[in-house]
Structure 1
Amino acid sequence: MEFLSQILTPDDVWGLEAWIDDWFFVIAIALFLIECVRYVIKKKFTKDFFGDSVANFVTLGLFILIVATVGATYAGVFIFTYEQFSLVQLPINGWTILCCIILADLAYYWEHRFLHMNGFGWATHTVHHSSPHFNISVAYRHGPMDWFFPLFFHLPLALIGFHPFVIFLAEIVVQVFQTLLHTETVKKLPRPIEAIFNTPSHHRVHHATNKQYLDKNYAGIFIIWDKMFGTFAEEKEPVNYGIYPKLNSVNPIKVFFSGYVKLCQRLWNAPSWGYRWNLLVKSPTWAWQQENK
């Protein structure tokens, strides 16, 4: 365990983050191709599946373009907060990285839950949920504001004293773990794993439109957060994927901007300013119920 106490430099952490980010994408593409072979064998590789998968990777490209534009500012906020306002400046070693990953996972749980609970957050997150399919490529289906909301939930980690590069590494680890969960190939894992960790089974529930599965299983790595905060549901019935109303498009531009286009349409047609406020701060379920009274 001595290696966990070895002091690292910010450059070491940045290099590790870049290595994970680059190589895992290669691994994810390989896993996706294996999934495609499986769908071909099961005769489920359709034109819609192919178009949806292409749209997923195009949204990733659009998201990367946005991050390339705002990334320096995003990182600068963390660095400024850490240097000027952190309570302490924790050493960078294996122990602090592990602690940061656990806390970043908890922060991710609350960020994820927030995105489901109000119209403004859901407008970007709905892009990820809008696919009627569930495979590795869906993990890369991003909305235009997906970079924005993590700032508010992960910035407290810089105030606690974690170096920004450690925080960014922790975010990458959580996202990499999440990517692996987007598959129907893996059914259920052994009970001890299902009890502690998020799994493909648990995450299929999160992407479901089945009534009993709505707003459940927000976890990143550890499903224990959902069990602690009352948002856990076990996969028992077959899952139906997508959103209400269905998007019914594989046009990547339409997919990428669909959430905010829909929100703007609702705001424009709203009967009052109070109704507009509710569209922003209340859950998407509220908006759907109002439109279907």
Structure 2
Amino acid sequence: MKKLLQLAFNSEVPDISERYRIFASALVVIFTISYSIGFLQLLHLGPYLGPGLGDQVSFQPLLNSLNDLNANNPGLWLALMALLSFTILFRLAAMLGGYFLFEREEGEPYPIKWIVVFFLTNMLSTFAIPLMLLALGGLFFLSGLDFAIGWHWVDHNVRIAHQLVMDYVPTLVNAPAPLAVLIIAVISGFFHYWFHRLGHTQRFLWLMFHRPHHMTPALIQSTTMAVFTALPLFIFVVLPYNLVFAACTKLFSSEPLYTAVIVYNCLILIPEIFGHQTALYRMASRNRLIRLASFISGGGVYHYMHHSSEPEHCGRSGAVNLVNIGGGPLFIWDIIFGTYCSLSPKTPRAGLSGQPELHLNPLRLTLAGVAQVCSELLSNPSWREKWRIITASSDYSPPVSTDFAVKEQRTTHKQATPPAAASHGYSFSSGAEVIANAGAKSATAPRS
């Protein structure tokens, strides 16, 4: 058994012949269609696809909202259906284009090996969700409590957060729906920004939760690691996450804003798809309309700079991955906190800082953060070091450390794959400069 586990953890997916390209393409197409349909479950949720007022992830709120709108205002229903259809079809075309145009842009087709490795890593991370809920339910059962508390942990926490917010958070201003959504987007964006930023600057969160999202060397949707399934650590933060975002909603609306949020999400999700498409960066960054829509939404093609592995694109600080963090329209919080980065004239290489060579083993990549933290805790006898392993910033590395995701392992001194957050000397851009640059032709130089 030990040898079998070692083999599973240490072996790598070999190069896969182009003769299997049709199967890889079919996998990408099936994933893309399924992803586009599944995404509809999130359209009624808050401006950041997070919780609103304790709402569940399902199709029912979307269907209810559309049915109510059709009964009360058929003209508006028709307009919303047109917008919804355009958003879905546009995103579907962009996701397929990101894969099928990859060879034209990069000189070679998207490696089948990457499709297999990162698709399986995504699947393993997703499969870990019911496994952890099962384990949590078992712990409750062994403690003499109800197994269902652990198994339905996420739903249970959503209900608790909802009840706490409804009982204790006042509605300061019951603003009209469009204005309320905009205010909520800005206010909740502050928390979204800092949750995301901590995922980079706090080493425990980086290794255990957020680093997988930044591992892929070239981005298409089906190989970009989902943030919310990583580890999945999210089951431990689901309560505070729901509390914060539901509270932001309740402050400005006493009722869910389903229709207004669906419209808002449809609009921001159009440019959003360009944030994880390597092959579409050059086109999107040179298109004035896409560039402006991306800036207004606070993401889009600008988010691709967040996935850059090359320090030279974002200033001398080398602060790769800590730019264009997002959180609010017009990159308001990036501008305020100095992490805004304009578009590069050429397509940046994606991935971890310096794009190190990874162990192309789905199981290893899935468990790399857990393995590294556990290995560090066991290998460093000092309690002071153990404490720092859990609480220190991302630029810290204990005396003994092994990176299980990267082939070049370093057991002393610096961390093997720091998220380039060691230097925080960002180049600040003023709001006026940023807004002026958003619509300008800032990315028209030829790609090198």
| Shorter-chain TM-score range | 0.7 to 0.9
Q: 2:281 aligns with which of 186, 192, 195?
A: 186
Bigger drift between 134-143 and 191-200 goes to 191-200
Q: CA deviation at 1:219?
A: 0.6
**Is structure 2 residue 115 aligned with structure 1 residue 50?**
yes
Q: CA deviation at 1:154?
A: 5.2
Alpha-carbon separation, structure 2, partners of 1:178 and 1:145: 25
Alpha-carbon separation, structure 2, partners of 1:180 and 1:203: 8
**Is structure 2 residue 337 aligned with structure 1 residue 229?**
yes
Gaps of 5+ in 1: 1-9
Bigger drift between 273-282 and 184-193 goes to 184-193
What is the aligned partner in structure 1 of residue 325 from structure 2?
Answer: 218
Q: CA deviation at 1:63?
A: 6.4
Alpha-carbon separation, structure 1, partners of 2:62 and 2:190: 22
Alpha-carbon separation, structure 2, partners of 1:106 and 1:252: 34
What is the aligned partner in structure 1 of residue 101 from structure 2?
Answer: 38
Bigger proportion of residues as helix: 1
Deviation per CA, 1:33-78: give whole Å up to 9, x if none: 3322112454222222322442354156336646884320231132
Bigger drift between 125-134 and 29-38 goes to 29-38
Alpha-carbon separation, structure 2, partners of 1:276 and 1:37: 47
Q: 1:19 to 1:54 in 2, by over 3 A?
A: farther
Q: 1:192 to 1:135 in 2, by over 3 A?
A: same
**Is structure 2 residue 416 aligned with structure 1 residue 292?**
no
What is the count of residue pairs matched by the alignment? 282
What is the aligned partner in structure 1 of residue 226 from structure 2?
Answer: 140
What CA RMSD, in Å, does the superposition of the two structures yield over aligned residues?
4.2
Partner of 2:171, secondary structure, is: coil
Question: Highest CA radius of gyration, 1 or 2?
Answer: 2
What is the aligned partner in structure 2 of residue 107 from structure 1?
Answer: 191
**Is structure 2 residue 306 aligned with structure 1 residue 206?**
yes
Whether the aligned pair in 1 keeps the contact of 2:305 and 2:343 (CA below 8 Å) is: yes
Alpha-carbon separation, structure 2, partners of 1:130 and 1:18: 38
Whether the aligned pair in 2 keeps the contact of 1:198 and 1:221 (CA below 8 Å) is: yes
Q: 1:262 to 1:281 in 2, by over 3 A?
A: same
**Is structure 2 residue 185 aligned with structure 1 residue 97?**
no
Alpha-carbon separation, structure 1, partners of 2:159 and 2:319: 39
Partner of 1:44, secondary structure, is: coil
Q: 1:113 to 1:95 in 2, by over 3 A?
A: same
What is the aligned partner in structure 2 of residue 4 from structure 1?
Answer: none
Alpha-carbon separation, structure 1, partners of 2:396 and 2:296: 32
Deviation per CA, 1:116-160: give whole Å up to 9, x if none: 121221121111112222222216364111454464355234345
Q: CA deviation at 1:284?
A: 2.2
Q: CA deviation at 1:289?
A: 9.4
Q: CA deviation at 1:98?
A: 3.5
Whether the aligned pair in 1 keeps the contact of 2:272 and 2:301 (CA below 8 Å) is: no
Alpha-carbon separation, structure 2, partners of 1:126 and 1:26: 30
Partner of 2:276, secondary structure, is: coil
The residue type equivalent to 2:413 in the other structure is N
Alpha-carbon separation, structure 2, partners of 1:74 and 1:126: 25
Whether the aligned pair in 1 keeps the contact of 2:188 and 2:327 (CA below 8 Å) is: no
Q: Tell me the percent identity.
A: 17
Q: CA deviation at 1:207?
A: 1.5
Q: 1:265 to 1:154 in 2, by over 3 A?
A: same
**Is structure 2 residue 215 aligned with structure 1 residue 130?**
yes
Q: 1:273 to 1:64 in 2, by over 3 A?
A: closer
Whether the aligned pair in 1 keeps the contact of 2:102 and 2:110 (CA below 8 Å) is: yes
Alpha-carbon separation, structure 2, partners of 1:32 and 1:194: 16
Alpha-carbon separation, structure 1, partners of 2:100 and 2:204: 38
Q: 2:365 aligns with which of 246, 249, 255?
A: 255
Whether the aligned pair in 2 keeps the contact of 1:112 and 1:218 (CA below 8 Å) is: yes
Q: 2:392 aligns with which of 272, 277, 282?
A: 282
Q: CA deviation at 1:218?
A: 0.9
Alpha-carbon separation, structure 1, partners of 2:376 and 2:261: 36
The residue type equivalent to 1:86 in the other structure is V
Alpha-carbon separation, structure 2, partners of 1:224 and 1:103: 10
Q: 1:54 to 1:95 in 2, by over 3 A?
A: same
What is the aligned partner in structure 1 of residue 166 from structure 2?
Answer: 83
Alpha-carbon separation, structure 2, partners of 1:274 and 1:85: 39
Map residues 21-32 of structure 1 onto 2, 5 A cutoff. Answer: 31-32=94-95
Bigger drift between 268-277 and 132-141 goes to 132-141
The residue type equivalent to 1:58 in the other structure is M
Instruction: Give me the TM-score of the superposition, normalised by structure 2.
Output: 0.52
Alpha-carbon separation, structure 2, partners of 1:164 and 1:72: 20
